């Protein structure tokens, strides 16, 4: 079906606003919503915040809001769902993208959530319909009627390919704004490789990190924990490593603007007095978009990451948009007491992404070789 057909049905039931955290499956729908002047779209940094915004909008308008989320993000909403929406009877229509659909090929980080999705919805008492091209009008009507009568959240599940992909629209920052993601990651890794271990955030950045470590022949010397799911957790994982690893080497976080923003609060744990993460180098590769899910904008353009880092107690704070200055900064930080923060402006270019890390190894392999690399340093 076409995204505009779905939107037409949502409008028929006077739903809104549309509050989204992207997923590649939701991409065409988010794009169509964004281009539709009658639809109000909000893009909070994570799915839990989406529930708060949805709740506030209902309180102010008595309209049923739509929260668009990947199934991975559903669990981020469960505290608000149970203690707020279901307890206060504040309705929301969830539109949940179903990654890891049993029987369909998908990336391994979606397997568990994909197979447990229906069980979770049942356990939490969320009625749901699996959207189909044939019956979507009836399904939306029945979901909305259920939500109106119970005043509790209900869900529509969207599998890959049910909404047609359309031509990509304009994205965030154009080529020429800064470095390409590939150049930025390669510069960081070629300067710090051998001296550091890495945590790479999920999506394209992990793929670039694996590629750069491999072409520079650094895979053995510089362990990297490639996060494939768990969006937003790169910094906390790195903080745990930095704090408890005996090796005392620099721990470099290759974060994205979307990943960093998703759990921005983690930055508050970095610079705490004599417990400061002195070996931490936190790098945010900021392209202004969620490149990995199709280039939907993040809110990074409205923020000053460097000021946030200073406010959180990072000792050294830099920004870079060229390879030469980035290389100099990385060199300096290797010999500086941290915590350190580098904001790197990168392009939202249309370069094709590197191979998925999971095409080369399993998640258990990633964990194992990271731990071996760290212990044998």
Ligand X SMILES: Cc1ncc(C[n+]2csc(CCOP(=O)(O)OP(=O)(O)O)c2C)c(N)n1
What six digits make up the tokens of 354?
């590197």
Number of Cβ within 10 Å of residue 243's Cβ equals 13
What six digits make up the tokens of 324?
């030469």
Stretch that binds ligand X, among 118-126, 148-156, 291-299, 313-321 (CB under 6 A): 291-299
Q: Which x/- pattern over 329-368 shows residues binding ligand X (rule: CB under 6 A)?
A: ----------------------------------------
Question: CA–CA separation, 224 vs 361, rounded Å?
Answer: 13
Q: 165-177: b or e for each residue (b if 16 or more CB lie within 10 Å)?
A: eeeeeebbbeeeb
30 binds ligand X (CB under 6 A): no
User: Shortest gap between Cβ of 365 and ligand X (angstroms)?
Assistant: 20
Site for ligand X in 220-279 (CB under 6 A): 229, 231, 256-259
Stretch that binds ligand X, among 26-34, 135-143, 144-152, 201-209 (CB under 6 A): 201-209
Task: Work out which of 3, 21, 179, 266 binds ligand X, going by CB under 6 A.
Answer: 21
Please report, for residues 24, 175, 221, 222, 233, the alpha-carbon distance to residue 372 in angstroms, rounded to integers and kept in the order given: 34, 38, 10, 11, 21
Stretch that binds ligand X, among 78-86, 195-203, 273-281, 325-333 (CB under 6 A): 195-203
DSSP string, 300-360: GGG--HHHHHHHTT-SEEEEE-SHHHHHHHHHHHHTS-S-EEEEEEB----PPPPPPGGGT
Number of residues that bind ligand X (CB under 6 A): 25
What sections of 151-282 are H helices per DSSP?
Answer: 181-192, 204-215, 234-244, 257-262
Cβ proximity to ligand X: between 66 and 144 the closer is 66
201 binds ligand X (CB under 6 A): yes
User: Shortest gap between Cβ of 23 and ligand X (angstroms)?
Assistant: 5
What six digits make up the tokens of 177?
């704004």
Angle, CA of 55, 56 and 57, to the nearest 5°: 90
Please check whether residue 175 is in contact with residue 347, taking contact to mean a CB–CB distance below 8 angstroms. yes
Stretch that binds ligand X, among 29-37, 48-56, 290-298, 358-366 (CB under 6 A): 290-298
43 binds ligand X (CB under 6 A): no
Angle, CA of 214, 215 and 220, to the nearest 5°: 35
Q: Which x/- pattern over 64-103 shows residues binding ligand X (rule: CB under 6 A)?
A: ------x-xx--x---------------------------
Cβ proximity to ligand X: between 15 and 291 the closer is 291
User: Shortest gap between Cβ of 244 and ligand X (angstroms)?
Assistant: 25
User: Footprint of ligand X on this chain (CB under 6 A)?
Assistant: 21-23, 70, 72-73, 76, 201-205, 229, 231, 256-259, 287, 289-293, 298
């Amino acid at each position: 079906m076409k995204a505009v057909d779905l939107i037409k049905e949502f409008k028929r039931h006077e739903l809104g606003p549309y509050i989204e955290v992207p997923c590649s499956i939701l991409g065409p729908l988010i794009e169509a919503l964004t281009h539709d002047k009658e639809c109000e779209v909000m893009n909070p940094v994570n799915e839990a915040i989406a529930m708060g915004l949805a709740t506030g909008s209902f309180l102010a308008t008595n309209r049923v809001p739509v929260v668009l989320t990947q199934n991975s993000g559903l669990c981020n909403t469960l505290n608000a769902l149970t203690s707020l929406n279901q307890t206060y009877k504040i309705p929301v229509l969830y539109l949940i993208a179903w990654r890891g659909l049993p029987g369909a090929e998908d990336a391994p980080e979606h397997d568990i959530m994909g197979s447990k999705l229906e069980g979770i919805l049942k356990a939490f008492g969320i009625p749901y319909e699996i959207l189909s091209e044939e019956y979507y009008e009836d399904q939306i009507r029945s979901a909305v009627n259920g939500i109106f009568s119970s005043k509790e959240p209900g869900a529509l599940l969207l599998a890959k390919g049910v909404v047609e992909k359309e031509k990509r629209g304009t994205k965030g920052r154009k080529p020429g704004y800064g470095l390409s993601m590939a150049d930025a990651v390669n510069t960081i890794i070629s300067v710090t490789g051998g001296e550091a271990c890495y945590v790479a955030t999920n999506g394209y950045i992990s793929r670039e990190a694996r590629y750069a470590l491999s072409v520079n022949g650094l895979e053995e010397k510089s362990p990297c924990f490639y996060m494939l799911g768990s969006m937003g957790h790169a910094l906390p994982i790195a903080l745990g490593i930095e704090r408890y690893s005996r090796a005392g080497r620099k721990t470099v976080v290759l974060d994205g603007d979307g990943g960093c923003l998703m759990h921005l609060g983690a930055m508050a744990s970095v610079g705490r007095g004599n417990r400061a993460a002195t070996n931490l180098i936190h790098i945010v590769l900021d392209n202004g978009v969620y490149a990995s899910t199709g280039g939907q904008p993040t809110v990074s353009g409205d923020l000053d990451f460097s000021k946030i880092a200073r406010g959180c107690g990072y000792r050294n704070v830099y920004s870079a948009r060229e390879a030469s200055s980035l290389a100099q900064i990385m060199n300096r930080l290797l010999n500086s007491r941290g915590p350190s923060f580098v904001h790197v402006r990168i392009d939202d270019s249309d370069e094709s992404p590197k191979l998925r890390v999971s095409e080369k190894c399993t998640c258990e392999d990633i964990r194992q070789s990271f731990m071996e690399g760290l212990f044998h340093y």
